[in-house]
Amino acid sequence: MKANWNHFFRWKTLPKQILILSLICLYQFPVLAQSTVKSVSLFDGKTLTGWKTVDPAHASLWFVKDSVIRSGDGIKKIPGNTYLHTLKEYGDFEFRCLFRLSGNPATGMINSGIQYRSILEGNKIIGYQADIGNGFWGDLYDEHRREKLVSGDLRTLKRILKEDGWNSYIIRCKGNRHELYINGVKTCDYTEQDSKIPQKGVIAVQIHSGGVAQVEFRDLTISEL
């Protein structure tokens, strides 16, 4: 009788063993697959090491304060479009950051953006821009080339967007597909059809000329895909 009970329990526990093995397969292998994609910080929180202004004359317009990259003092108007770009170029990646744009629209345009896969020609930057600001939230713009490519989908975003507060941006770019997310909400899904457009370039943060504005960026990271 004892042998029969042992035989019974061996078979009874077999499904549990299979379940455990299945769970290991489900959870372990995705972790191993994801571990090859490493997130790297693009900002040390203290200096602009690894970054450079497109126009050297604008170097003083970008600075670090309270572990945040800033441009604009909220007092003076922004004299011209200015960009701070990475020294390294990126092709396929997922970029993440937190940003805050503030300013009085009555003083002029309050706008910013994040350039990517962009190239430098003298004091000009050419390439894709994930747009920031009223009337432009989540748009995909092509700076100094084709202008606006896609209008941001704000149907959901408008319910959770903090227009003068901190928001998050995710830019995911792989091959010819471009995805933009603000606060986790997809605003743009674009497929590039022009094979002549560069698929690699710098990342840059921008503040637009016009009004009395200030833009802040923090927690900038990138995962190369």
Average pLDDT over residues 6-24: 46
What is the per-residue pLDDT for 74?
85
Residue 138: closest CA among 91, 171, 90? 171
Give me the mean pLDDT over the 156-171 stretch.
95
The pLDDT value recorded for residue 15 is: 55
Using CA atoms of 45, 48, 51, 56 in order, give the dihedral in degrees to the nearest 10: 150
Cα 183 from Cα 100, distance rounded (Å)? 12
State yes or no: pLDDT of 42 exceeds 50: yes
Tens-digit pLDDT profile for residues 23-40:
334 434 444 434 467 899
Where does the pLDDT of residue 4 fall: very low under 50, low under 70, confident under 90, or very high at 90 and above? low
The pLDDT of residue 36: 61
Tens digit of pLDDT for each residue in 44-103? 999 999 999 999 999 999 999 999 999 998 889 998 899 999 999 999 999 999 999 999
More confident residue, 7 or 147: 147
Q: pLDDT band at 134, cuts 50/70/90?
A: very high
Q: What's phi and psi for 79, nearest 5 deg? A: -70, -25
pLDDT digits (tens, 9 = 90+) for 170-209: 999 999 999 999 999 999 999 999 999 999 999 999 999 9
Strand pairing class (112-121; 167-174) = unpaired
Among 16-20, 98-102, 127-131, the range scoring the smallest mean pLDDT is 16-20
| pTM summary value | 0.82
Residue 156 has pLDDT above 50, yes or no: yes
Mean pLDDT of 162-175: 96
Q: What is the mean pLDDT of residues 151-166?
A: 94
